[in-house]
Amino acid sequence: MSALISSKPTLSFTLASQFISTGKENPASLSWSSSLPKLNLSITTTSPSSPLNLLHKQTFVVEAAWTRRSRSEAAKKPNRKSWKQRTDMYMRPFLLNVFFSKRFIHAKVMHRGTSKVISVATTNAKDLRNTLPSLTDNNACRVIGKLIAERSKEADVFAIAYEPDKNQRIEGRLAIILDTIQENGIIFV
């Protein structure tokens, strides 16, 4: 009996690989993919309702759900930062830090990646301490904002970021400093 009779659809795979090149097909190509062996894959089916025939009709799209982590995966790595948290340091590299004490105002612009200070201004400096009537009033805030803007421009920094603390509002003396910096040509990102 040389004939095979079956009610199930038959499926055959043909896999051919050429590991030995028979000549230079594209000698000018220097890409990494040209160095890989050619692989031919053919699929033949005998049943029209086979699931493999449906593959040709459907297009495969990688869903976003494949990239999300499940809750159990997130629980295994609780300290993993999000993509934004990991890339924010490079997208907005210069960060403004403002500190108000009872007696002085301190402001500095730092590079996030290297933690180097780009520009500093404080009312505790000798020249400002002796010339300003008050070291914490609105006029002192305007002077600090102007100094930070000038010194940042000298260091070729024209865009900085400011991240307020969790419950901090941008108002009062802080708003005066930020507005003065912006008026003097620094962009907030």
pLDDT tens per residue across span 52-82: 555 555 555 555 555 566 677 767 777 888 8
Q: In what order do the strands lie in the sheet with 105-111?
A: 94-100, 105-111, 117-122
Domain count, the chain: 2
pLDDT of residue 180: 98
What average pLDDT does the segment 154-164 reach?
96
End-to-end CA distance of the chain: 80
pLDDT of residue 140: 97
pTM for the structure as a whole = 0.58
Are residues 45 and 122 both part of a single domain?
no
Considering the domain boundaries, does residue 157 fall inside one?
A: yes
* Higher per-residue pLDDT: 31 or 159: 159
pLDDT of residue 7: 52
* Burial label, 60 (beta-carbon count in 10 A; 0-12, 13-18, 19+): exposed
Please enumerate in sequence order all residues whose Cβ is within 8 A of that of 146, keeping only pairs 6 or more positions apart, or say none. Answer: 180, 181, 184
Are residues 119 and 49 both part of a single domain?
no
Question: What is the domain range of residue 17?
Answer: 11-63
* Higher per-residue pLDDT: 14 or 115: 115
H helices within the chain, ranges in order?
Answer: 51-57, 71-76, 83-91, 126-131, 138-154, 173-183
pLDDT tens per residue across span 107-135: 999 999 999 999 999 999 999 999 999 99
Are residues 93 and 172 both part of a single domain?
yes
Residue 106 phi, psi dihedral angles, 5° rounding: -120, 135
pLDDT tens per residue across span 167-182: 999 999 999 999 999 9
Are residues 112 and 174 both part of a single domain?
yes
Average pLDDT of every residue of the chain: 80
- For the cut 90, the answer to whether the pLDDT of residue 25 exceeds it is no
Considering the domain boundaries, does residue 73 fall inside one?
A: no
* 148, 150, 153, 158 alpha-carbon torsion, rounded to 10°: 60
Are residues 96 and 154 both part of a single domain?
yes
Considering the domain boundaries, does residue 42 fall inside one?
A: yes
pLDDT of residue 163: 94
What average pLDDT does the segment 144-164 reach?
97
